Structure 1
Amino acid sequence: MNVRIAGVDEAGRGPLAGPIAVAAVILDPERPIDGLDDSKKLSERRREALFPVICERALAWRIEFVEAGEIDTLNILQATLTGMRRALQALAPAAGLALIDGNRLPRDLPCPARAIVGGDALEPAIMAASILAKVARDRRMVELHRDFPAYGFDAHKGYPSPAHLAALRMHGPCPAHRRSFAPVRESLSSLVRQVAPA
């Protein structure tokens, strides 16, 4: 029997707001998908087109979100590893081997695993996971924009763009912001200074 191999990747480690999205995908060798690549090398339109194809043809897939509050509690690395573990644990059918993009492996995985630096450019299953994670996270940031329109999450997806940093300085953080990240912390302390009595 062939071992079911899951690719695992994340999107959203660098932003100041929103969740990390982690995806795990077991591709079906009988149903190959044309056009897979590292999500960063694909246009938004191409990622959106591949998303339903991956979901439909994969043997199993799972997307997990680790929200801003949990990122602040755990730290960004541990939050990422936690999301990877959850995504793998939730796969049905289960994976027999996980190929994880990066150089760190989560603890307590449900199967053997291998870390692959640059895996999203090398392994089709990791490419598929990178696409699911990126598309799912971008969609979540568009939803957050509707709740908190002052920050422009639909445009920069929570990354520290000049417009985002300016909005942070003007409005302070919203509930979607990661308060453990330095620019968010600094915006909080500057707001405190502004409202403190002289």
Structure 2
Amino acid sequence: MPYEPPTHSVERSLRATTGARVVAGVDEVGRGAWAGPVTVCAAITGLRRPPAGLTDSKLLAPKRRAELADELEQWGATYALGHSSPGEIDDLGMTAALRLAASRALEALPVRPEAVILDGKHDYLGAPWRVRTVIKGDQSCIAVAAASVIAKVRRDAMMAELDAECAAFAFSDNAGYPSPVHRAALEELGPTRHHRMSWAYLDAMPRWQHLKKQRSPVVAPALQCGGQLGFDF
């Protein structure tokens, strides 16, 4: 299906209305997965013409998506990744975990953004960042599209590495998302240390329901952590 290529219009608008010269696009992947982290990419692309075919990662075939991620690095996109682990998702809930991962990504950039374009309509990031939310920003904004592609490719690669430990779950194929193979492995073997233990999928598995974890109260100081996350997947 034809689609309009992303542009720098939002970045230009932010420059004109706020004076922000350094603008980062932010997008996430892994929100709906049963296993693995939620991963956020923050990308700064400037106002240069991007590699051909750049768009929302979900609209790209896996091979082309991987090629684009490499092209974006060669093109000079400045980016950083932030992750929230399955345990943090269980303890904090998804909104707070997204905020934590996004803060880690933004703080890890070599230059601090003066404004952030966040994909979607909900600002899960908040202060101290100056945020502009854009529905379908991963299709319309170059920096957000770049973040979308890089986040998806890098997280998929992280999940594929788990196949050596968790071959039955086929993480290299499903990246921790629901699938028939993933469900069958869960029902037979139970969840691994990489699974989110507070999620509703366990409700449909009587053999493993007793393992379901109740979410802990959100602890505000945890949301203030910056930098890259160094946990063991």
TM-score (norm 2): 0.76
Aligned: 1:50 with 2:68: yes
1:69 is matched by which residue type in structure 2?
A: G
* Aligned pair partner of 1:12 in 30, 35, 56: 30
User: Which residue number in structure 1 is paired with residue 87 of structure 2?
Assistant: 69
* Aligned pair partner of 1:108 in 127, 144, 152: 127
* Aligned pair partner of 2:52 in 28, 31, 34: 34
Q: Percent identity?
A: 37
2:119 is matched by which residue type in structure 1?
A: D
* Aligned pair partner of 2:207 in 178, 190, 193: 190
User: Which residue number in structure 1 is paired with residue 104 of structure 2?
Assistant: 86
Q: Distance in 1 between matches of 2:191 and 2:48?
A: 47
Q: Distance in 2 between matches of 1:159 and 1:59?
A: 28
What is the DSSP-based 3-state SS (H/G/I as helix, E as strand, rest coil) of the residue aligned with 1:56?
helix
Cα RMSD after superposing both structures: 1.9
2:95 is matched by which residue type in structure 1?
A: L
Greater CA drift, 89-98 or 131-140: 89-98
1:133 is matched by which residue type in structure 2?
A: A
User: Which residue number in structure 1 is paired with residue 193 of structure 2?
Assistant: 175
User: Which residue number in structure 2 is paired with residue 159 of structure 1?
Assistant: 177
Long gaps (5+) in structure 1: 194-198
Long gaps (5+) in structure 2: 1-18, 211-233
Contact 1:28/1:58 (8 A) holds in 2: no
* Aligned pair partner of 2:39 in 21, 28, 31: 21
What is the DSSP-based 3-state SS (H/G/I as helix, E as strand, rest coil) of the residue aligned with 2:43?
strand
Contact 2:202/2:208 (8 A) holds in 1: no
Q: Distance in 2 between matches of 1:102 and 1:192?
A: 33
User: Which residue number in structure 1 is paired with residue 147 of structure 2?
Assistant: 129
Q: Distance in 2 between matches of 1:165 and 1:15?
A: 12
Deviation digits for residues 101-122 of structure 1 (CA, Å, limit 9, x no counterpart): 012221334x411111111111
Q: Distance in 1 between matches of 2:209 and 2:141?
A: 48
Contact 2:20/2:114 (8 A) holds in 1: no
Greater CA drift, 130-139 or 89-98: 89-98
1:52 to 1:154, Cα distance in 2 relative to 1, 3 A: same
Aligned: 1:120 with 2:165: no
What is the DSSP-based 3-state SS (H/G/I as helix, E as strand, rest coil) of the residue aligned with 1:13?
coil
1:191 to 1:84, Cα distance in 2 relative to 1, 3 A: closer
1:190 is matched by which residue type in structure 2?
A: R
TM-superposed deviation, 1:192? 6.7
1:190 to 1:113, Cα distance in 2 relative to 1, 3 A: same
Give the length in aligned residue pairs. 191
What is the DSSP-based 3-state SS (H/G/I as helix, E as strand, rest coil) of the residue aligned with 2:33?
coil
Q: Distance in 1 between matches of 2:104 and 2:153?
A: 19
